[in-house]
Structure 1
Amino acid sequence: MAQQVITTLVDDIDGSEASETVVFGLDGKTYEVDLNDDQASDLRDALAPFLGAARKASSGRAAVRRTGSAKPAGDSVAIREWARENGFDVNDRGRVPASVRAAFEEAQRA
């Protein structure tokens, strides 16, 4: 026996038949609302001034601000070279272990 399931979206604002689900975010939370074409257009028009002035987030998570003494990528090449010359085992790629970086910095101060 075959079965057919039909899903009908209902506009969350006025109860009419909705044509799409609009996904948006605010204050770190993501929302979905089912809207007809007119309501979806109204929402986009209302948000347009804010979207025009906003920066696009790179991902769904909150941005991370890094502070402190971040080392440029070029330093990693010099550190890896020094580490190999001084008996440390380091990979060609990826993060340089903190212990190796600390030893390199100590050697530079001496």
Structure 2
Amino acid sequence: MAQTTRVLLTDDLDGSEATETITFALDGINYEIDLNAPHAQQLRESVTTYVISARKLSSRRPPTTRRASAQPAADRPDTQQVRDWAKAQGISVSERGRLSNDLIVRFQEANH
């Protein structure tokens, strides 16, 4: 027995029959939306100005952003010194891992 499966797309904006699925990404998050032809055209027209000025990425991997540390590495104190100072002050600090900027600032204020 033969079976036929039909997939009907519904426009995510107004519930009418959609004609296509559009995928896009913004701020590292991928989105997908089913739209009818007029809504798809409206979406494309609304982002055209930005697309024209944007750089196209060659990979499908979203770009990563690196946050700059509050201080350049050369200006940051030795982490073991900070840990030792914190323990001497009765501040709970782990043996490994990143130190909070707040703790580093407190250390620097107390030692400079």
**TM bucket normalised to smaller:** 0.5 to 0.7
Structure 1 residues 68-83: aligned runs within 5 Å? none
Task: State how 1:1-110 maps to structure 2 within 5 Å.
Answer: 1-63=1-63
CA distance in 1, matches of 2:61, 2:24: 14
Stretches (4+) displaced over 2 A:
62-65
**Deviation, structure 1 residue 63:** 4.2
RMSD: 1.7
Give distance in 2, aligned partners of 1:57 and 1:22: 18
Question: Can you give the 5+ residue segments of structure 1 that lack an aligned partner in the other structure?
Answer: 66-110
* Cα distance in 1, alignment partners of residues 52 and 13 from structure 2: 25
CA contact (8 A) 2:11 2:17 kept: yes
* Cα gap change, 1:10 to 1:57, in 2 (>3 Å): same
Distance 2:36 2:28 in 1: 25
- TM-score, structure 1 as length reference: 0.55
Query: In structure 2, how many angstroms separate the alpha carbons of the residues matched to 1:13 and 1:36?
Result: 9
Partner of 2:92: none
1:30-59: per-residue Cα shift (whole Å, max 9, x none)? 111000000000000000111011000111
Query: Structure 2 stretches of 5 or more lacking a match?
Result: 66-112
CA contact (8 A) 2:23 2:30 kept: yes
Change beyond 3 A, Cα 1:64–1:24? closer
Mapped contact 2:10–2:16 kept (Cα < 8 A): yes
Given the superposition, is the C-alpha separation of residues 3 and 45 from structure 1 closer, same or farther in structure 2, using an over 3 Å criterion? same
Distance verdict in 2 for CA 1:62–1:32, change over 3 Å: closer
SS, match of residue 46 in structure 1: helix
> How big is the shift at 1:3?
1.6
Quote the offset at 1:28 in angstroms: 0.9
Identity of aligned residues (%): 48
